[in-house]
Amino acid sequence: MNVAMGMVTRSRSRGLVAASQGGGEEPAPPRSREVAAEGRKSHRSLKHQRKTERLHVAYEASSGEKGEGAEPLKVPIWAPQDWQQQLANIRTMRSKKDAPVDQLGAEHCYDPSAPPKVQRYQVLLSLMLSSQTKDQVTAGAMQRLLIRGLTVDSILQTDDSTLGKLIYPVGFWKSKVKFIKQTSAILQQHYDGDIPASVAELVALPGVGPKMAHLAMAVAWGTVSGIAVDTHVHRITNRLRWTKRATKTPEETRTALEEWLPRELWGEINGLLVGFGQQTCLPVHPRCQACLNQALCPAAQGL
């Protein structure tokens, strides 16, 4: 049996919330190593140190100043120079939506005919499989699992050896077998086979990290809870100096980006930059000559 997998772009996803809200079987949604070296580079050490601009935004008067006509304290918000043009250029370069992530990303690997609750579990599982794994490999593993009928119960009834063979060769497959079993047992016992609807609860599950949690919130629940930062987003935003200082970890990058990037763009960034990183801003030997941002990128000439 060939199980069709969902093919919905992340930006269109509204989340698989119907079942939990008593609605119909909405066939909604899913989608969405380098870097350590770049992460360790100080922005300051690069030849083309960027100038930054300061934006003045709305502010509030302190309690002691309210109503007294005093000049309120202005709080400047840092934002990288040229980020809007750089973002527009990346959107242009990504307009064909033909990167591996656009068709095979973890958020596309689910059975659209399954109940929403089951779809959400499948989304979470594909995200767990996707870490340190190419999209093509994750999609293959998910296809093998879906053919057998992928639910919390089916996974718990599958022995570890069989599960390992089904998901191999995803990265760290042995550990993932253990995490998938543990997480599935928790979901069965505490969430009636569904997945939790908060980042805090999701990251408490074995094998689920912040990037997976934010993507699961966006894809499965239709809620943008934060910027999902993987190695592509981490690498590219450091190259473009979208963080005020060089960051060393994806979590550090997420915090730095969320300080200035308008919230309405948070849900778009992961899919946009992952595909850009797969096709143009490669981990090694990025294709700067073909990049519309070459003249605006402080890292272009250093690579």
Task: Kindly list the catalytic residues.
Answer: 211
Closest CA to 217 of 230, 226, 208: 226
Q: Which of 119, 254, 286 is nearest to 297 (CA)?
A: 286
Whose tokens are 């190695």? That residue is: 231
Restricting to residues 254-293, which ones interact with ligand SF4 according to CB under 6 A?
280-281, 286-288, 291, 293
Residue 85 CB, shortest distance to ligand SF4, in Å, is 12
- E-only strand ranges, the chain: 52-56, 76-80
Nearest to 278 by CA among 104, 77, 75: 104
294 scored as a contact of ligand SF4 (CB under 6 A): yes
**Residue count (the chain):** 303
Closer residue to ligand SF4, CB minimum distance, 46 or 156: 46
∠ at Cα 94 (208, 170), nearest 5°?
30
Task: In whole angstroms, give the CA distance from residue 12 to residue 222.
Answer: 10
Give residues 23-42 in contact with ligand SF4 (rule: CB under 6 A): none
User: To the nearest whole angstrom, how small is the minimum distance from the Cβ of residue 55 to ligand SF4?
Assistant: 22
Tell me the closest approach of the beta carbon of residue 299 to ligand SF4, in angstroms: 4
- At position 235, the amino acid (one-letter code) is R
Contact between 299 and ligand SF4 by CB under 6 A: the answer reads: yes
Question: Which one among 127, 212, 213, 297 touches ligand SF4, defined by CB under 6 A?
Answer: 297
- In sequence order, the β-bridge partners of residue 53 are 79
From candidates 197, 227, 257, 300, binder to ligand SF4 by CB under 6 A = 300
Q: Is 13 in the site for ligand SF4 (CB under 6 A)?
A: no
Token reading at 161: 């050896």
Q: What binding mask, one character per residue, do residues 223-242 give for ligand SF4 by CB under 6 A, x or -?
A: ----------------xx--
Tell me which residues touch ligand SF4 (CB under 6 A): 239-240, 280-281, 286-288, 291, 293-294, 297, 299-300, 303
